[in-house]
Amino acid sequence: MAFTARWGILATGWIAEKFTIDLLIDPATRGTADVAHVVAAVASSSGEAQARSFATKVKAPHDTVCYGGYEDLVKDKNVDIVYIASPHSHHFAHALLALNAGKHVVCEKPITVNARQAEILYKTAKKNNLFFLDAVWTRYFPLSVQIRQIITSGEVGEILRVTADTSMGEEMDDLWKRQKRRKVNLDLAGGALLEIGIYSITWIFQTLYHTLPASKRQPPNKIMSHMVKYPETGVDEDTTFIVSFPTSSPSGSSGRGSHGVGMTAFPLATDPDQRGTAGPSVRIQGTKGEIQVLGMPFQPDRYKVVPLRDGDATMSVREVLCPFPAGGHGMYYEADEAARCVREGKLESETMPWDESLLIMKVMDDIREQGGLKYPDAIESTDLH
Ligand SMILES: NC(=O)C1=CN([C@@H]2O[C@H](COP(=O)(O)OP(=O)(O)OC[C@H]3O[C@@H](n4cnc5c(N)ncnc54)[C@H](OP(=O)(O)O)[C@@H]3O)[C@@H](O)[C@H]2O)C=CC1
Ligand SMILES: O=C1OC[C@@H](O)[C@H](O)[C@H]1O
């Protein structure tokens, strides 16, 4: 009998819609039989009518309860897990609200503005015996699981370098002046690094750090970066970084270490013609070959394993397709992971342990400090007024 997770959706913006539609897709379509999901409630800070309109738009069941405020949602006894989909400037406050009301939490990326806030959330989850998931969706894709397995199998050798580029090809003034977007708003913790650079960091961490045995994982020993600001608002529009690790994957025994080169930008494009002619967005380079990830780093749907030529004519390139079943966006994989963890009484997922999530926030803090990107005190603070 499948375990059914009862979800409460906090906020009704762009990603909340994608996530909720995915939750409503029959898990059988992706071969999942052990967990299921119901959308128990939806809350909008813009009022109950907005929550109702969202529920109708995503085709939530008629008995989905709609609230005109987040405080009511977290009190709902029929909600097990709250999905936080507000801007990241507000994740700290909203996740704390849910944890203090005794709810498990799945929080959109980046989980907070800085590591200090993330640390408080994880401590609170632990103290209250609640599950908390850093919902950086790509990590939970079968494609990511398969790639991590290929690395740990040793097939592509010792991984020495990873490059990852998450750049959207968007016009800055259009983003800001015409669309008034959250993504470039300093008050909402906008900027390329936190918004999309986190995917480049995710690839660096899930390949160079997470694939090591837990006992051999060590924090980066060097972080270098270059940041370009968007003058209108002061957020970063273009950031490049190198993150070095003392040991290399998969064995962790080599003294060579490894490094990841991450790129992220709004005005430049990873895939300028949207036909993939620029090549892989992520390259995971090992001593016996490499894995090339195709498609944008946040939602890739295929990868190639390319052996290093060593004269063996039998070696060939293998391309693996990982489509998203039932027309889904791919967010159901993180939902399934959360439901499984809650069913098993786990507080954290092995796919994204709390200490790794915290380390990623620390790397972003470091890069921001190097670039002089500070957000207003109101959203960097750990005090809630
Ligand atoms: N995993 C992924 O692929 C993606 C993740 N994200 C992440 O999800 C979060 C939300 O992004 P997105 O959906 O694009 O954002 P939107 O601006 O589309 O939606 C955010 C929603 O948050 C609520 N909200 C609460 N407080 C505020 C506030 N002060 N200002 C604005 N909105 C507020 C509003 O909902 P209401 O009025 O109903 O309360 C609003 O609609 C971000 O942290 C982002 O990084 C974003 C895009 C893709
Ligand atoms: O997090 C994200 O991933 C998907 C992108 O389309 C989106 O702009 C970004 O916010």
- For residues 193 and 219, state if they share a domain: yes
The reply to whether 7 falls in a domain is yes
Alpha helix stretches (DSSP H) within 128-190: 142-153, 172-173
Residue with tokens 């994740």: 91
Query: Two tokens at 99?
Result: 């944890």
CATH number of domain containing 296: 3.30.360.10
Centre of ligand 1 to C-alpha 82, Å, is 14
The number of the ligand nearest the C-alpha atom of 331 reads 1
Cβ pair 338, 131 in contact under 8 A? yes
The C-alpha angle 219, 216, 108, rounded to 5 degrees, equals 50
In this prediction, residue 346 carries a pLDDT of: 98
Q: Give the mutation target among 108, 195, 337 for probing the ligand 1 site: most ligand atoms within 8 A of CB.
A: 108
Q: In terms of DSSP bridges, do strands 282-286 and 159-167 run parallel, antiparallel, or are they unpaired?
A: antiparallel
The reply to whether 44 falls in a domain is yes
Centre of ligand 1 to C-alpha 183, Å, is 10
Q: Give the mutation target among 86, 88, 106 for probing the ligand 1 site: most ligand atoms within 8 A of CB.
A: 86
Pocket lining: 134 vs ligand 1, CB cutoff 6 Å = no
- For residues 167 and 239, state if they share a domain: yes
Q: Tell me which residue range forms the domain holding 161.
A: 142-321+358-377
In this prediction, residue 252 carries a pLDDT of: 85
Residue with tokens 């993504």: 183
- For residues 186 and 82, state if they share a domain: no
- For residues 126 and 202, state if they share a domain: no
The C-alpha angle 129, 133, 134, rounded to 5 degrees, equals 140
Report the distance separating Cα 373 and Cα 265, nearest Å: 15
The reply to whether 382 falls in a domain is no
- For residues 113 and 167, state if they share a domain: no
The reply to whether 198 falls in a domain is yes
Pocket lining: 90 vs ligand 1, CB cutoff 6 Å = yes
The C-alpha angle 224, 295, 150, rounded to 5 degrees, equals 75
pTM metric for this prediction: 0.98
In this prediction, residue 313 carries a pLDDT of: 60
Query: Two tokens at 73?
Result: 């949602």
The number of the ligand nearest the C-alpha atom of 329 reads 1
- For residues 299 and 266, state if they share a domain: yes
- For residues 133 and 163, state if they share a domain: no
Centre of ligand 1 to C-alpha 192, Å, is 15
- For residues 147 and 30, state if they share a domain: no
Q: How many domains does the chain have?
A: 2
Q: Give the mutation target among 15, 86, 165, 266 for probing the ligand 2 site: most ligand atoms within 8 A of CB.
A: 15
- For residues 122 and 207, state if they share a domain: no
The reply to whether 353 falls in a domain is no
Among 124, 120, 121, residue whose Cα is nearest residue 108: 121
Rg (CA), the chain: 21
Helix (H) or strand (E) holding 166: strand 159-167
Residue nearest to atom 2 of ligand 1 (CA): 15
Peptide bond into 250 cis (omega under 30): yes
Q: How many CB atoms are closer than 10 A to CB 102?
A: 12
Cβ pair 50, 44 in contact under 8 A? yes
- For residues 311 and 258, state if they share a domain: yes
The reply to whether 109 falls in a domain is yes
Pocket lining: 49 vs ligand 1, CB cutoff 6 Å = no
Pocket lining: 88 vs ligand 1, CB cutoff 6 Å = yes
- For residues 216 and 257, state if they share a domain: yes
In this prediction, residue 254 carries a pLDDT of: 81
Report the distance separating Cα 182 and Cα 368, nearest Å: 18
Which parts of the chain sit beneath pLDDT 70?
A: 311-315, 385
The number of the ligand nearest the C-alpha atom of 296 reads 2
Cβ pair 383, 170 in contact under 8 A? no
The reply to whether 83 falls in a domain is yes
Bridge partners for 35 per DSSP = 3
Centre of ligand 2 to C-alpha 318, Å, is 28
The reply to whether 384 falls in a domain is no
The model's pLDDT over 351-373, given as tens digits with 9 standing for 90+, comes to 999 999 999 999 999 999 999 99
CATH number of domain containing 59: 3.40.50.720
The number of the ligand nearest the C-alpha atom of 12 reads 1
Give the number of the atom of ligand 2 that is nearest the alpha carbon of residue 108: 1
- For residues 128 and 23, state if they share a domain: yes
Report the distance separating Cα 39 and Cα 192, nearest Å: 31
